[in-house]
């Protein structure tokens, strides 16, 4: 099926929340950073993706991912349930349109940890005005390609074959970083997290996000 046929959300999102889209090569520390951000900001949520990948040791269904089989995933594609989906390292991953919609409409911000293909699909929908929500694209780099290898190995949850395939993809993924809005090098975890926090705070402080609150406080002064 042509991807553009899938990327056709059925209903509009009336959002007051921001969509933070985070991508990185495997092992860069994206999951770690996104989790820290969700723990830190009470009004930031992680959208739980659907995947056909089997759970890693310690991963929980409906917490880390919604783990589903290939047939169930295909059905979700067919009914247009995904705002984006992609095949990554031999497994499929997708984000539910309705999950995103309901979180954003509650005024919550969302952090989406998705691969570069999925991020590109969202960017395309924004460019085509199919998706009208505040968005920010963030790319996380490992300090070096060798570091990713060590981190994936240290994580200790992937087979040798999986590690090799993830490392092979890393170069192609890094090439996509040029069109992201913010770039973070995750060398020291705490420094990288400070940067991620600063980006979130800065985006939340933009005029278009703040103006209603300011008008409530200073409506008379502003003459509104």
Residues that bind ligand 5GP (CB under 6 A): 26, 49, 53, 84-86, 88-89, 93-95, 113-115, 117-118
Q: Cβ(25)–Cβ(89) under 8 Å?
A: no
Q: Are strands 44-46 and 19-23 parallel, antiparallel or unpaired?
A: unpaired
For residue 154, the minimal CB distance to ligand 5GP (Å) is: 14
When CB distances are held under 5 to 8 angstroms depending on the partner's kind, the choice from ligand ADP, ligand 5GP, none that residue 148 binds is: none
* Three-state DSSP class for residue 82: strand
52 Cβ contact list (under 8 Å, min separation 6):
67, 68, 69, 70, 73, 91, 92, 93
Asked if 24 interacts with ligand ADP (CB under 6 A), we say yes
Nearest residue relative to ligand ADP (C-beta): 29
Q: Cβ(28)–Cβ(34) under 8 Å?
A: no
In the bound state with ligand 5GP, the residue whose beta carbon lies nearer, of 54 and 223, is 54
For residue 188, the minimal CB distance to ligand ADP (Å) is: 6
Round to whole Å and give the CA distance between 66 and 68.
6
For residue 60, the minimal CB distance to ligand ADP (Å) is: 15
H helix and E strand count, the chain: 9, 9
When CB distances are held under 5 to 8 angstroms depending on the partner's kind, the choice from ligand ADP, ligand 5GP, none that residue 88 binds is: ligand 5GP
Please, how many CA atoms are within 13 Å of residue 5, restricted to the half-sphere of its CB? 5
Tell the residue number behind the tokens 């999925």, with chain if given. 118
**Which of these segments, 11-19, 20-28, 96-104, 213-221, binds ligand ADP (CB under 6 A)?**
20-28
For residue 96, the minimal CB distance to ligand 5GP (Å) is: 9
Which strand ranges, in their side-by-side order, compose the sheet holding 66-67? 66-67, 50-51, 91-96, 82-88
Residues 132-171 that bind ligand ADP (CB under 6 A): 151, 154-155
DSSP code of 138?
A: E
When CB distances are held under 5 to 8 angstroms depending on the partner's kind, the choice from ligand 5GP, ligand ADP, none that residue 99 binds is: none
Could you list the residues that contact ligand ADP (CB under 6 A)?
Answer: 24, 26-32, 151, 154-155, 186, 188-189, 192
């Amino acid at each position: 099926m042509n991807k553009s046929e899938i990327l056709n959300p059925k209903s509009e999102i009336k959002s007051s929340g921001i969509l933070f889209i985070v991508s990185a090569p495997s092992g860069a520390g994206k999951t770690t950073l996104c989790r820290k951000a969700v723990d830190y900001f009470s009004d930031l949520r992680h959208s739980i993706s659907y995947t056909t990948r089997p759970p890693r040791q310690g991963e929980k269904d409906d917490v880390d991912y919604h783990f589903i089989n290939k047939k169930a995933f295909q059905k979700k594609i067919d009914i247009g349930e995904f705002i984006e989906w992609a095949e990554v390292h031999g497994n499929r991953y997708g984000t539910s349109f309705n999950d995103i919609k309901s979180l954003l409409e509650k005024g919550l911000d969302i952090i989406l940890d998705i691969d570069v293909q999925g991020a590109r699909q969202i960017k395309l929908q924004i460019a085509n005005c199919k998706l009208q929500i505040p968005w920010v694209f963030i790319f996380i780099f490992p300090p070096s390609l060798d570091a990713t290898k060590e981190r994936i190995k240290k994580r200790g949850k992937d087979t040798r074959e999986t590690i090799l395939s993830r490392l092979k993809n890393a170069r192609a993924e890094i090439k996509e970083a040029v069109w992201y809005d913010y770039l973070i090098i995750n060398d020291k975890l705490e420094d990288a997290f400070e940067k991620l926090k600063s980006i979130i705070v800065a985006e939340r402080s933009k005029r278009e996000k703040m103006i209603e609150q300011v008008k409530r406080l200073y409506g008379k002064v502003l003459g509104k």
